[in-house]
Amino acid sequence: MIRVADFVSALSLRTLSPSTKTEWPIEAADFNRPGLQLAGHFDYFAQERPQVIGKAEMAYLDSMDSEKRTERLRAFFSYDIPCVIVCRGMQPHEELLALAKAHDVPVFQTDMITTRFSMNLIIYMRSALAPRATLHGVLMEVYGVGVLITGRSSVGKSEAALELVKRGHQLVADDVVDICKVSDDRLTGESPEMVRHLMEIRGIGIIDVKAMFGIGSVLMKKTIDMVIHLEKWDEQKDYDRFGLVDEFTTIMDVKLPRIVLPVKPGRNLAIIIEVAARNFSLKRMGYSAAQELDRRTNEMIQQRMNEMP
């Protein structure tokens, strides 16, 4: 569902003909330009989408006399369409406004050219209709990388995030992360409005990161690029020391790189997370230090084998 008020506000629309509906059951992030429908062809009519009228559609309506225009528009509004948006600041015909009011279909107007408005419309609808989930964790931007820090309560996620903020990185969300699946392979995260820019530090309480460290210390939204999972050090567990095998986790069917960091006294988690973010950026550009070490080792072994009599 898309709320009408959010739709109008996000796209800066003017209401020419209001409606009693407060939301629409739209499922696809797409729109329809009803040129064929105004010409009388209603096969495969995407009636469930917002109907965008541009210069071509308006010129076609202008070419008709009032009686024919009313006939075509009556057939158009007989379908259950969510809304009509008129682009380029053009004024719709009185017949269109009257029929829209009779069928309780809102009519909006924008000054944007049709192509630019169509792009904005799709971007907004993709975000509004995207699947969402909420996770326990901390989301930071570290050297341009969106790092989701997870782990059990009291493991040190907020303390690590606070140290990262002091080192110049940006907090997106603490404790609760609202995740949005904006495409098949991309997740974004943000903080719920109620706790935005706030952080809980045990022994101190709630602090306002934005007020304490400045506007440059926080970020509204960030793409999630990798997951760092914190867990208490287990002497019996064999932790990865070389990084030759990449580990992944899946969130909302999106595969993300995952690193497990054991936590014990004396480890500076903020610096380790910084290094992990930079190493991720290097891997994304095609360089892996672990693979380079493996290559050098193999070359040395081969060289010594060649030197053997």
Active site residues: 136, 157, 175, 241
User: How far out from the chain centre does Cα 51 lie?
Assistant: 25
In terms of C-beta density within 10 A (0-12 exposed, 13-18 middle, 19 or more buried), how is residue 231 classed?
middle
Buried b (16+ CB within 10 A) or exposed e, 77-95: bebebbbbbbbeebebbeb
How many Å apart are CA 251 and CA 247, to the nearest integer? Answer: 14
What torsion, rounded to 10 degrees, do the Cα atoms 99, 71, 48, 126 define? -80
Q: Sheet containing 186-190: give its strands across.
A: 221-223, 186-190, 170-183, 132-142, 145-151, 226-232, 254-263, 247-251
The CA-atom distances, in angstroms, between 159 and each of 139, 149, 258 are 13, 11, 20
